[in-house]
Structure 1
Amino acid sequence: MKISRTLLLMVLLLPTLASAQNFPAKPIKLIVPFPAGGPNDIIARVIGQRMSELSGQPVLIDNRGGQGGVLGTDAVSKAAPDGYTIAISSAGALAISPSMEKVAYDTLNDLTPVTLVATVPEMLVVATNVPAKDIGELIALAKAQPGKLNFASSGPGSLPHLAGELFKLTARIDIVHVPYRGAAPAVNDLLGQQVQMTFLDLPVLLPQVKAGALRPIAVGSAERSPTAPDVPTTAEAGFPDLRIENWYGMVAPKGTPKEIVAALHGLATKAMADPAVKEKLAAQGATLVGDEPEHFRKFIADETAKWTKVIKDAGVETAK
């Protein structure tokens, strides 16, 4: 007896459709590729808690820090493609590190984009002993002293590092990169006036800015941040190409069925639409997004192309 191709396809898809309808039927492991307490961790915990409440299944946070987010992201790429091991990873691990160093995964081939969760603007600040009140004065100061001013970053190849390189290229200035092992020591030396400026996630710098210990120059978002409404954007300051935002997105392993990806997407975006979730993350300077998987895929590709060009144009040394 002949079985029609359509009927055969339906039979083959039945287990996947059934599992998607019941998803999630057990706890979800949500990998955070950074230590607890940072922006990535906070965003994941707030979203994960609401996803757990909505689904009735625990969303277990698994912090796997190391190599700027690469190790935890790689763990997801090697997990079973059933939707029960996912990650909320960052711009560094998804779009920058693969262009800077040898990593064990190819972002768009070994991972399945689910949704862009949130963006967080990078803020440019200077030490209080730097006599510049805005970006124009800072650029003029740098041009008057080529090679004398420096900028701190949270490490070679990090988003703050490439933000500084993009600033150099855009403003045509010569400032020196000083890498640190994380944001905390960079901020400490900035407070101690050992370095002159830095780009870092707005939430990291906001307490020191509000205390008057660091002077804000600009934020790299399209619009002013509600948590720092008096700080102009780089576009307002005359540098629309100096748009620099960190971002965090949900990914699953390659081969995760579309129906499961759709279920994860629906659960995540429903959690993100909750007013309490929005309020908590807005206090962290984060803007929630919640786009479709294909849009997020294109976003990752565009961000990869952008930062690959900066790496090349700035002559940043890579380990590839």
Structure 2
Amino acid sequence: MPALAQASFPDQPLRMIVPFAAGGPADIIARLIGPAMTRELRQPIVVDSRSGAGGMVGVEAAARSRPDGLTTVLASTGALVVLPQLMPRMAYDVAKDLAPITHVLSVPQLLVVSPKLGVKSVAELVALAKRQPGKLTYGSAGNGSSLHLAGELFRLRTGIDIVHVPYRGAAPAVTDLLGGTIDMILADVPVVIAHVRGGALPALAVTADQRLPSLPELPTMAEAGAKDVISETWYALFAPAGTPPDRLATLHRAAVTALRDTETRRNLMDQGGLVVGGTPEELAGFVRSETAKWGEIIRLANIKID
């Protein structure tokens, strides 16, 4: 009896789950890398928006999908390392239920201040905060958000006493910053870059370990004198645990090839981010280090979710 030829993978369309609403940063990133991955895989990738619970709904859907290589999820910091340390119960275990593919993009924050403060550097801001302990305020997108954690990281690393003002999203916080109601915010680059470029908000530093190609004149926090203030909203690609290694390797090759594509890289960097790539092992190690780092900040700052 002749052996049947085994169909090559993939032999049908793939699904990339995005755990946030259509039109948001994760959705944009997925639609930027999808076409380049499609060219490599020779199968279309359908973006499946599964928003809810800060990304946990979509990640859970991916974790419970068949591990056949046809489903991936573009997950981010909150649902992978922050919320698991804030929620009393989780429907998934990142280390056990997800298989890492590659780290796609990291979007750092900009430290921007109200023009009313009259400070032009991180050193001047820290000095002002130390002269007026408990008086300066920083906004965030809500308790437990990446912007809240970034603010607490900055506070703890510099030893200043500043007051957290949570908002229901980053946009209203930026509106109040423009109006002078709050004094500063650490916000993802795309949220504030137009105000920075337009001169409405002074940016003092970027929370990355390298300068941004989109704002090359802006120093890193370390260059500005605030060491170990590295904070990013990052996005990474995962598959359900149990996906066969050869299929994971195919997905990894397609993703890394997409990230090396000149047009794709340029479009991703236009989102204010730094393209990463790397191996599944590097991503797994990165997730572990981020979990430890933000777990320490959550404990030291006694952060509780609403």
**Larger Cα-atom Rg:** 1
Is 1:91 aligned to residue 66 of structure 2? no
Q: CA deviation at 1:263?
A: 0.8
Is 1:283 aligned to residue 274 of structure 2? no
The equivalent residue for 1:7 is none
SS across alignment from 2:69: coil
Q: CA deviation at 1:160?
A: 0.9
Is 1:306 aligned to residue 293 of structure 2? yes
SS across alignment from 1:235: coil
Taking structure 1 as the reference length, the TM-score comes to 0.90
Paired with 1:47 and 1:126, the residues of 2 have a C-alpha distance of 33
Is 1:255 aligned to residue 276 of structure 2? no
Q: How does 1:3-82 map to 2 (within 5 A)?
A: 18=6, 22-82=8-68
SS across alignment from 2:239: strand
Q: CA deviation at 1:94?
A: 0.9
Report if the CA contact (8 A) 1:68-1:158 is conserved.
no
Paired with 1:230 and 1:18, the residues of 2 have a C-alpha distance of 54
Report if the CA contact (8 A) 1:29-1:84 is conserved.
yes
SS across alignment from 1:230: coil
Matched AA of 2:247: I
Q: How does 1:222-261 map to 2 (within 5 A)?
A: 222-261=209-248
Extract structure 1 runs of 4+ deviating beyond 3 A: none
Q: CA deviation at 1:211?
A: 1.0
Gaps of 5+ in 1: 1-13
Cα displacement string for residues 141-195 of structure 1 (whole angstroms, at most 9, x for unaligned residues): 1112222111111121111111111111111111111112222222222222221
Cα displacement string for residues 77-123 of structure 1 (whole angstroms, at most 9, x for unaligned residues): 11111111111111111111111113211111111111111111111
Paired with 1:274 and 1:298, the residues of 2 have a C-alpha distance of 25
SS across alignment from 1:40: helix
Gaps of 5+ in 2: none
Tell me the number of residue pairs that the alignment of Structure 1 and Structure 2 aligns: 303
The equivalent residue for 2:172 is 185
Paired with 2:179 and 2:218, the residues of 1 have a C-alpha distance of 23
Partner of residue 154 from structure 2, selected from 153, 156, 167: 167
**Percent of aligned positions that are identical:** 47
Matched AA of 2:265: K
Report if the CA contact (8 A) 1:119-1:287 is conserved.
yes
